[in-house]
Structure 1
């Protein structure tokens, strides 16, 4: 039985009225820690979080223990500093779709964060009879043996080159290899990404990070709809599991990312090829029958265009999904759909979801068969709210898309934040997330420090 571990990482926060005062506070903290090496760093972190006033000049650092804190406080690469402007910023959650999921995603959070673990456990127990297996055995195949595995160093060499370049792993762990193969199957991949993103959102909300708006990409919109209470959690889980099973039964297809605008893509489409997604001004995805996609890839490559085949078994968001339309419509009709309580962007229209659309079974059929209009959606979200964009799920794909879509502003990249590492990033999950939490605080977001401590 997996037992909870204490947080192996801590977030230290400092603030002051001036830059010189902040520098002095940093030196004073380091001196204090040097004189009290036997202190528990968690106690120090909690005192800083809950008892000091948050001034404009702010600084954060993520560290493991007192000794690591002394090293980190003297390392400019590990310290983050910002001057917080007076205006309040809102946060928008971005939920990615398939493509960046991996075995053991958020494993450290599952070990040490009770809110995250409870959400994953509830979802996986509910899904057991629907999937015919425990999804935790697929996402975390070595749960028992990995339980006490030590977290890597926060400043360790952070990238696994083989994974980053898509090369095969040294296949020494047969469980991981088998689980990866399983997790890449549509009927398990889609519920898995939903579960991890939903649980991650619940953890962030428990820390006081509440979205004023949301945007999901494909499967990610189901997470947004569930958080917005269009669907209850049980309905969201049932819908995502049954929908994935419907798609699994459809004929296989292929998807191709192309460096073309929507206008440039349209002449390439036919009865075998559909526009599947618009990710940026010159970033689209075409999906369809495998032979047609292969022929198109060859044709565009010969013209010097850098195309990329996506690792997928089916042609998502294309006309090849239409054979599942009737069954999906019947299933959605059995749910008690409600108007959204949190605004979110529709993939189908590229603008704000309406109560009429969210509660109409036909909308969810369109969502499965029609292209994901992410580019126009993120532009709409940005121009109305100018929020901090927080990607709630593995990787930073949506963040990179968003950078291509919103106005050219040098400060924009500072407020597009990830929450969960890519598979090839070796940084520990908790340190990665705490760094983002620190960046949110630096940007002026109010953290519920009491909730942050009590969720441990």
Structure 2
């Protein structure tokens, strides 16, 4: 008897998370089990140069250092894991109808789509560490309210960093004003929590660092996407002139991430299975609330567990996801 996927192949869109999704040993259960994933991670650590050995040790540690959430570790490691997971899924024979990334996840999507090479991507990650390490002590705050609920707090010190859903926002700023804003919001009964970040990404606090990254972007060969990428900065399909504009890419780390309207555009254009190919399930949780998913027109599937649950949990989750997407029997992912 034919399986459901043999009767009607699933149209798949890949989602790639960014800063804040990282956790100890994220996807490490696949290392040494999936040949494609393992090769991609080993190549990543090699392309990260002298820093690669230390980043690998942080990744595989049960209790990484405080630097794990710093730009110097979190950003290149998230890029590497997203990229390795994406390559693994493509190796299954999946041909995505689209890809959408959040923050550094968009860079992973663009790399998989052929906009830039992985070698250039990791060179840019090394440069990002150089540029952003010296930015003021800051962070990001996840807030469960509407834009109207924070509008009076936004200004020169606190900034809108992302619109993830109608009532799921990220704020960013230097540490002291961001903490004050959190206090005000909690006093109003608004649920908020610190995002695992030590820099105020997607805000004017990092404008100077974004500008400093422009020369390396200008030195990068950029080409058209071979797979459709939706950009959370243009809120639509990534195309010229943005796709080949170094300034567009350099500014991303300082510009707000408009994930919610971009996801809405993707799901207006495509009924599909949204497969989150990254650590955790933060984007899956957001996508499950979308009306087209609630009505059953599209579906959502995280590739990995919601948090660190052990190597076996990583393997079992990927087996289940691969079976759901391709109909492949549930077994350890050796591809």
Quote the Cα distance in structure 2 between the aligned partners of 1:316 and 1:87: 41
Residue 25 (structure 2) pairs with residue 100 (structure 1) = no
Residue 10 (structure 2) pairs with residue 125 (structure 1) = no
* SS class of match (1:330): helix
Quote the Cα distance in structure 1 between the aligned partners of 2:52 and 2:45: 11
What does residue 306 of structure 2 align with? 422
Quote the Cα distance in structure 1 between the aligned partners of 2:30 and 2:185: 42
Quote the Cα distance in structure 2 between the aligned partners of 1:374 and 1:303: 26
What does residue 135 of structure 1 align with? 55
Quote the Cα distance in structure 1 between the aligned partners of 2:195 and 2:297: 28
Quote the Cα distance in structure 2 between the aligned partners of 1:187 and 1:220: 16
- 1:47-76 Cα offsets, whole Å, 9 max, x none, are xxxxxxx245xxxxxxxxxxxxxxxxxxxx
Contact 2:13/2:96 (<8 A) preserved: yes
Quote the Cα distance in structure 2 between the aligned partners of 1:319 and 1:372: 13
Change (3 A) 1:312 1:408: same
Residue 273 (structure 2) pairs with residue 273 (structure 1) = no
TM-score scaled to structure 1, two decimals?
Answer: 0.68
Change (3 A) 1:132 1:421: closer
* 1:410 Cα offset (Å): 4.5
Quote the Cα distance in structure 2 between the aligned partners of 1:331 and 1:288: 25
Quote the Cα distance in structure 2 between the aligned partners of 1:412 and 1:294: 40
Quote the Cα distance in structure 2 between the aligned partners of 1:412 and 1:97: 26
Residue 179 (structure 2) pairs with residue 294 (structure 1) = yes
Quote the Cα distance in structure 2 between the aligned partners of 1:226 and 1:106: 19
Contact 1:258/1:285 (<8 A) preserved: yes
What does residue 90 of structure 1 align with? 11
Contact 1:346/1:377 (<8 A) preserved: yes
Q: How do residues 171-186 of structure 1 correspond to structure 2 at under 5 angstroms?
A: 176-177=62-63, 179-186=64-71
Residue 252 (structure 2) pairs with residue 331 (structure 1) = no
What does residue 283 of structure 1 align with? 168
* 1:307 Cα offset (Å): 1.8
* Contiguous gaps of at least 5 residues in structure 1: 1-15, 17-53, 57-83, 142-175
Quote the Cα distance in structure 2 between the aligned partners of 1:455 and 1:304: 48
Contact 1:350/1:376 (<8 A) preserved: yes
Which of residues 257, 261, 274 is equivalent to 2:142?
Answer: 257
Residue 205 (structure 2) pairs with residue 320 (structure 1) = yes
Provide the alpha-carbon RMSD of the alignment: 2.3
Quote the Cα distance in structure 2 between the aligned partners of 1:404 and 1:453: 31
Contact 1:128/1:134 (<8 A) preserved: no
Contact 1:190/1:241 (<8 A) preserved: no
Residue 292 (structure 2) pairs with residue 404 (structure 1) = no
* 1:202 Cα offset (Å): 1.2
Tell me which structure has the larger Cα radius of gyration. Answer: 1
* 1:295 Cα offset (Å): 1.5
The higher-RCO structure (CA 8 Å, 6+ apart) is 2
Contact 2:146/2:166 (<8 A) preserved: yes
